[in-house]
Amino acid sequence: MSVKPQALVITAPGINCDAELAAAFDAAGAQPESILMGALEREPSRIDDFQLIGLPGGFSFGDDVAAGRIMAVLMRERIYPALASAIERGVPMICPCNGFQIAVQAGLLPGPERGVWPHEPATPSVALCQNRAARFHDAWTRVTIPSDTRCVWTRGLQLDHETGLLPSAHGEGRFITDPSTLTALQTNGQVAVRYAEGENFNGSMDAIAGICDPSGLVFGLMPHPERFTRWTQHPWWTRLDPSQRTGEPLGLRMFRQAVRIAAEPAHRRSHVTSA
Amino acid sequence: MSVVHRIEVRTKDGLPDARGEALLRRATVEPGLPQPSSVRSAQVYLIEGALSDSDLQGIADRLLADPVTQVATIGLRASQGFVVEVLPLPGVADPAAESVELAIERLVNGRVRVLTGDRWDLGGVNRAEADEIGRRLLANPVVQSMRSEPWMPDRFPEARAHDAQTRDVPIRELTDAQLERLSREAHLFLNLDEMRAIQSEWRRRGREPREIELETIAQTWSEHCVHKTLKSRVRYTEAGLAAGSPSLIRHASAYAGHSIDGSALVIDNLLKRTVAAATHHLMEPGRPNSIDWCLSVFVDNAGVIAFDDTHAVCVKVETHNHPSAIEPYGGAATGAGGCIRDVMGTGLAAKPIAATDVFCVAPRDMKEPKGCLPPGRILRQVVQGVRDYGNRMGIPTLNGAVWFDPRYVGNPLVYCGVVGLMPRDLIRGQVHEGDTIVVLGGRTGRDGIHGATFSSAELTDSHADEFSHAVQIGNAITQKRTLDALLVARDVQGGPLFHAVTDCGAGGFSSAVGEMGRSVGATVHLDRAPLKYAGLTPVEVWISEAQERMVLAVPQKNLSALRAITDAHGVEMCELGTFGTPERDLILLWKGQEMGRLSTHFLEDAIPMPEREAVWDPAWAATQAPATPETPAPDGLLSTLRALLAHPNIASKAWIIRQYDHEVQGTSVVKPLVGRHGAPGDAAVIQPVVGSNRGIAIGNGLATGLASDPYWMGLAAIDECVRNLVCVGADPTRIAILDNFCWPSCRDPRNMGSLVRAAEACLDGALAYGTPFISGKDSLNNQFTTEDGRTIQIPPTLLISGVGIVPNVDRCVTMDAKRAGNVLLLVGRTHGRMGGSHRLMIGALDGCDTTLPQVDLKEGPIVARAVAACIREGLVCSAHDCSEGGVLVAAAEMAFGGDLGVKIDLQAMPCAGLVSPHARAFTEDPSRYLLEVADSNLTRVRSMLGSLPNAVLGRFDDSGQVSVAAESMSIRELRDAWASGGEGW
């Protein structure tokens, strides 16, 4: 019998999507465990025990100053090295919503160009700022997956017009970066998911909803794939024909892909991620 | 030496300044405001502490400014145009500052104090115009200061300090007039009978009461805490009856606790004999269909029902009206926060899993009287308050309603509801003698003092100044931490670490400790409470309604285990005292010295409950109906339909709904907006337990249009609530409901009469529908006195909230039409009564029956059960209840919700008597449902409906048109009317 990969869910004051993130890992075949940020700060080596990491959504530290800012400052100070080394050993990491906002400020995304993580967290080069309407917005949107993405969570997923959706709920999700970083992300296969045509409600550059690091392991996105693991979560599931509800919902498929990679022996994993 | 530093953060030039742009847009749509040509926003941080230049630079670059999008300025920055700077007043909570202080401590290893605020640079306006924009859109003087230039003080202002003495208040020798004056001037809001009861108690005790003792009584006896009006004995008479209105006198006299005295009906305890009696009757063992799933009713912070064999669901709905009138953002946020705490403090703690919100406000374009805030601003900020608290706590807000009426201008109603989930074996707590009184969560400050008594007063144009201290600013993250720690402490191996828990709500510690210590007494060391700032008096500590505090009864042996959990979650924990005193007294100490001593018997039992006079005066009540404007309504059926869809009560609430995270926790099954483009769902459904297909439907009923007879209004609200829940798939035999009465002053016997009629409707309705009340609340002084002495009373408003168990969420149904070719089936009887309808709110209708719609208590429940059976059998493709606007509005919503056309034949409608086409189309007669049924299932559905009135009204098609009689209109036009009616906020 194979052993389930262990998934670390990092929580902190104001993080509030940890339960559904843990449930998604569980549904996808991993064994989730939630640990408070404070405990990890005291003992960062606990991160070494895990084969998957999730940085959930919410309002860490009230999103005071800016979304994810204070949590990112704390992460840079104490646990960045342990996270970087986890990624180096091939651990897939997902950072939805507040997790994404934290990850881009903590030096985890877009990640090092050559795949070698620096000792000090990098200065942020992308930002998630206030939505175009300067207002919190909750909606399901159609998304697209770039065919050239390196992201192990989204690579190769086929989307259907009626079911290729994800829910978003945020006030600060507008993806902004400088032109050269944008070009690098595009050409390097680091765009992991986009809002479909006409669905870019927050005004993100190039309709980018999520990106990954060059290894494809670290995935940050504003939508919440962990909230689409059952068909009854789909916003118009009562309209869907039963034939459209076969197979697994998009969010769960993302978790499945990553859990499968995490369950593989390390030597095969490094092969997969360098593709 | 400490000095104050200033750092400002703004968006880099060339990048979008979303907040500035939003203010510019807001100034454009707000009526009568000057138009700035440009707005630039900045965040302001004032930091008091010994910091070097490099510390400051590090704080600016690494903490405060985003290197990609923002720039920071240290020190003062020149203005571009005119500056409006907004900062919190001294003593007002500033949650962002607390987070920044924590982060700075990490970065520079030194303690600092922080103030956070906003700066706006307005171009294209003069100084006076900039100030006007600031006053109208940016700052509320109750909690914020507004400055016309960037502010950099030498040191931070301090909140005022008070002496730590508690005084004797001589009352033993006062005359009645002096007692009344004392009550008013000390903000006790006790009536003369109550003041006399206190006077005689202290005469008996042979000393004068201390201030802290009087305050404790005022809190405990406030209308807010004790519901003395609803619990009083009432003598009800009728000065006449309008057509169609039943006399309660003979009708109700058969009920327990009701008796006839001459021409009057006497009810010995209104709440107990109506709302609560219904529940107890329905639960009576041995009676047919006796309800065994109500686990705890009317005794705890929330009502509790069974969910499945291992889980229970608890529900609470609260109002926070008065604070929301003077500071809508903070008032609504703390309203939501307080209701969430109620659920956290139910039994041995429940986890909040859903929230609801219902707002009653004045129309946006109405000019407000002096002393009121502009109605548009009230609703916008109330929404923001609920949003910021619920979203931050991670609780999906997924059901609600908004009702507009000019009479809410000085007294908006803000209802917040919360649903919680808990293990079935933990629904009851019990304080033990010797337990330690433990406080978890936020610190105590001077905020929210006299909230309980303030909420029991009437508002006047000077209340914003007089009661600014009653307003609180919440910190949702503090509460989230407290919740996390509380649930861990509940779920430890071997059972909860505490024997009981409750929240600090109205009255603060005085109510929480007083209630918990009711049967054992308590000794309280007030000086041990952690304070936000020094200088609070013992009285202030005792009655402060500072947010985010929970009180627990903890056995000594568990204290260290509890402290380990609270430390890990960064939650402050304080041992405030001990439960259990020899005489069951409440003993209040400050540094060991006794400040006050009260008997819990006296607090609980001594409140005088005089008989109240209630008069039903239908002529006067007729003036309570919503106004019909002089302007004529459109002629055609479909142009009328379009106008109704744009009516603010009916139009889309997407601008509100989409600001709430209604997906958090990942449980939603039926969302507030359904179909591909977001049409109005009837109720929400969540699936709260992973791995179980069981669901909870959450809905509400509100029929304020029928305020001219609250009997019919109450029944209509119950019927509507049941309809909403049935339409999504709830089991009508497993629906529990809650009552929230918001009434104008019940010292007026006519208002009291209308309250009696609503309460009797609750009794009749709950019994007929088999829907027990499990909790409720009232707010009974909702009126506003203007500067020139005019009193604006709200229409009597009864919100019925409901939760229903959904046996299998896979069988849930939504209201969007699914398939061309399916038939539209109307179930229920149409009378054509137009009283209180939205059709009459947009213009007169000649020759119609203007009596109020009446719920048929025999047929209504049978229709609900029959419709539910059809849904349960999977025979219904979509279901929608006919409420605001009537059948045509409901049918159009189904059609545009499903991108389908529909052709309707109003003549096919089963009517009682002759009813004109307009009345058929727009009456809001209750107990009616629209079902979409496939041809193949129609026979089966109709046989299940049996002899109940039902008829095929038409058929859905691919025409993209709603057609009725000879008229047609595109669903796009109708959807646009519905959507645009909710735009511009």
Q: Crossing angle, helix B275-283 and helix B749-769, to 10 degrees?
A: 20
pLDDT of residue A272: 45
In chain A, whose CA is at the least distance from the CA of B481?
A13
Would you say residue A169 has pLDDT above 50? yes
Across the interface, whether the CB atoms of B103 and A65 are under 8 A apart is answered yes
B224 an active-site residue? yes
Which pTM was predicted? Answer: 0.94
Would you say residue A43 has pLDDT above 50? yes
In this complex, which of A14, A39, A167 lies closest to B480 when CB atoms are compared? A14
In this complex, which of A23, A66, A133 lies closest to B690 when CB atoms are compared? A23
In chain A, whose CA is at the least distance from the CA of B474?
A62
Chain A residue numbers touching B394 (CB-CB < 8 A) = 16-17, 58
In this complex, which of B18, B106, B687 lies closest to A134 when CB atoms are compared? B18
CA distance B403 to chain A (A): 23
Tell me which of B227, B258, B280, B320 is the catalytic residue: B320
Mean pLDDT of B732-751: 96
User: Which backbone phi and psi does A97 adopt, to 5 degrees?
Assistant: 60, -115
Instruction: For the domain covering A6-273, report its CATH number.
Output: 3.40.50.880
CB of A239 less than 8 A from some CB of B? yes
Q: How far apart are CA B78 and CA B564, in angstroms?
A: 50
Q: Note the ipTM here.
A: 0.95
CB of A65 less than 8 A from some CB of B? yes
In this complex, which of A70, A124, A178 lies closest to B99 when CB atoms are compared? A70
A95 an active-site residue? no
Tell me which of A20, A95, A170, A224 is the catalytic residue: A224
Q: How far apart are CA B335 and CA B326, in angstroms?
A: 13
Instruction: Identify the CA nearest to B20 among candidates B52, B43, B50, B49.
Output: B43
Which stretches of B50-152 are assigned E, i.e. beta strand? Answer: 70-74, 82-88, 113-123, 144-147
Tens digits of residue pLDDT in A62-102: 999 999 999 999 999 899 999 999 999 999 999 999 999 99
Q: Please report, for chain A, the start and end positions of each structural domain, with discontinuous segments joined by +.
A: 6-273
pLDDT of residue B88: 87
CA distance B674 to chain A (A): 6
CA distance B697 to chain A (A): 14
| Residues composing chain A | 275
What long-range pairs does A37-41 form, CB within 8 A, spacing at least 24? A37/A10, A37/A11, A37/A12, A37/A71, A37/A74, A37/A75, A37/A79, A38/A12, A38/B568, A38/B570, A39/B568, A40/A10, A40/A78, A40/A79, A40/A82, A41/A74, A41/A78, A41/A79
Q: How far apart are CA A174 and CA A131, in angstroms?
A: 5
Chain A residue numbers touching B100 (CB-CB < 8 A) = 64-65, 70
pLDDT of residue B222: 84
Across the interface, whether the CB atoms of A23 and B666 are under 8 A apart is answered yes
**Interfacial A residues in 109-168 facing B (CB < 8 Å):** 123-127, 129-139, 167
Q: How far apart are CA A160 and CA B579, in angstroms?
A: 62
CA distance A167 to chain B (A): 8
Tens digits of residue pLDDT in A220-273: 999 999 999 999 999 999 999 988 888 999 999 999 999 999 998 765 555 444
- Among the listed ranges A17-21, B388-392, B445-449, B734-738, which one has the minimum average pLDDT value? B445-449
Tens digits of residue pLDDT in B401-451: 999 999 999 999 999 999 999 999 999 999 999 999 999 999 988 776 766
A17 an active-site residue? no
DSSP character for B424?
A: G
DSSP line for A45-96: GGGGG-SEEE---B-GGGG-SSTTHHHHHHHHHHTHHHHHHHHHTT--EEEE
Across the interface, whether the CB atoms of B659 and A135 are under 8 A apart is answered yes
CA distance A264 to chain B (A): 27
Mean pLDDT of B779-796: 92
Edge-first strand listing for the sheet containing B3-11: B70-74, B3-11, B38-49, B113-123, B82-88, B144-147
pLDDT of residue B186: 86
